Amino acid sequence: MPAIFTGYAGLTRGSMEIYEKLKSIKEKYDKINEQLSNPENLSDQAKLISLSKERSGLIDVVEAFNEYDSLLNNIKGNQEIIESGEDKELSEIAESELNELKAKRDLMEERIKFLLVPKDPDDDKNVIMEIRAGTGGDEAGLFAANLYRMYSRYAEIRGWKQEVIDLNDTGIGGIKEVVFSLIGTSVFADLKFESGVHRVQRVPATEANGRVHTSAASVVVLAEVEDVEVNIDPGDLRIDVYRSGGAGGQNVNKVETAIRITHLPTGLVVQCQDERSQLKNRNKAMKVLKARLYDMKLNEQNSEIAATRKTMVKSGDRSDKIRTYNFPQNRVTDHRIGLTLYNLSEIIEGDLNELVEKLKLADRAEKLNAS
């Protein structure tokens, strides 16, 4: 562990501010470690989980602090050698090293600025995704099915658990609408920028003349929320039960297990018929309702900000066309950040890592500029 840097000689005001910010985060990190090792807290599992999550969110910043602190100590040491003037040859070596160290410091400060961008409090949450076929008839349904498979494959790669909440297919391999949850680590952080209209350009299987058609599907990504975050008055709900449709065996079609919940104040309607248990369907439907109400609440809170500054990545307007998948050219273009990739065949199979990381980077850069 390097000695804590104690001097500011030669530091710019910006460097001083960065150092003090990192130092305060390191102190917070140390206090969390003390609490985690305190025997009095061992019986409180909820507190331990909360502290562990908070600690994991600070590790990258603390590691950066240790590296930055060591770098500043080296800069200070070289400056002292130069200022002493006792050994000319040693001073020349120190001056040469000093220029390299300062260049390294400048690069590191840029990286640290990204680390210090405030984290979205929803990033660690699980998500509920909704995919709906848009314009384009049967081809739109087929494209919606492609998107569903793409996200399902990405979830498998990431080791996330998937649960279907509601599925309405077209009967020819397409999907009119699918609602499903994804459970795992940093799910919302990776998928929150997928909300919007996705457009496809390709030759449909039914097209005899080989003409390229354009169709679309919409994607909505909602953070799954806890009961304490959304207060729902049971008197505001109308709950209907009905017989499920589609495949699933005799029980699905003969017993009223499907649930439809209407939130009367907002008019929101959610339904679930995937499970054979009425209780399980009800619980899943309530999860979707809470996520939608939470999303509405966030949109209302951010409406004033959105009116004055519409960010490049997180536009809030889900009617925006965010991405085009061009099959003839094997091309994917994300219109928000001007990114074009020529590996559509891999992306549609769930290889979303590059897209996800570029969107996250653009969002952090936008937040950094705004601050």
Report residue 371 as tokens.
Answer: 């601050």
- The fold of 127-304+315-370 is Alpha-Beta Plaits (3.30.70)
CB of 75 within 8 A of CB of 5? Answer: no
CA–CA separation, 52 vs 159, rounded Å? Answer: 21
Pinpoint the alpha helices (H) of the chain: 13-37, 45-56, 59-84, 88-115, 138-158, 187-191, 250-254, 278-308, 344-347, 353-370
* 121 pLDDT above the threshold of 60: yes
**Per-residue pLDDT reduced to its tens digit, 168-213:** 998 888 999 999 999 998 899 999 999 999 999 999 876 767 899 9
Helix (H, G, I), strand (E, B) or coil at 198: strand
Pinpoint the alpha helices (H) of 165-275: 187-191, 250-254
pLDDT for the residue 307: 45
Bridge partners of 220? 130
pLDDT for the residue 250: 41
- Tell me what the pLDDT averaged over the chain comes to: 84
Tell me the domain boundaries of the chain: 13-115, 127-304+315-370
* 367 pLDDT above the threshold of 60: yes
Range ranked top by mean pLDDT from 47-51, 134-138, 249-253: 134-138
In terms of C-beta density within 10 A (0-12 exposed, 13-18 middle, 19 or more buried), how is residue 42 classed? exposed
CA 282, distance to chain mean position in Å, is: 27
Kindly report the CATH class assigned to 13-115: mainly alpha
Strands 175-183 and 237-242: unpaired
Q: Name the percent of the chain lying above pLDDT 90.
A: 41
**Per-residue pLDDT reduced to its tens digit, 254-272:** 567 889 999 999 999 999 8
Compute φ and ψ for 121, nearest 5 degrees. Answer: -60, -15
State the amino acid at position 4 in one-letter form: I
pLDDT for the residue 326: 97
Distances, alpha carbon 62 to alpha carbons 21, 50, 116, 359, in Å: 11, 18, 11, 25
pLDDT for the residue 29: 93
* 110 pLDDT above the threshold of 90: no
* 239 pLDDT above the threshold of 70: yes
**Per-residue pLDDT reduced to its tens digit, 313-340:** 544 444 569 999 999 999 999 999 999 9
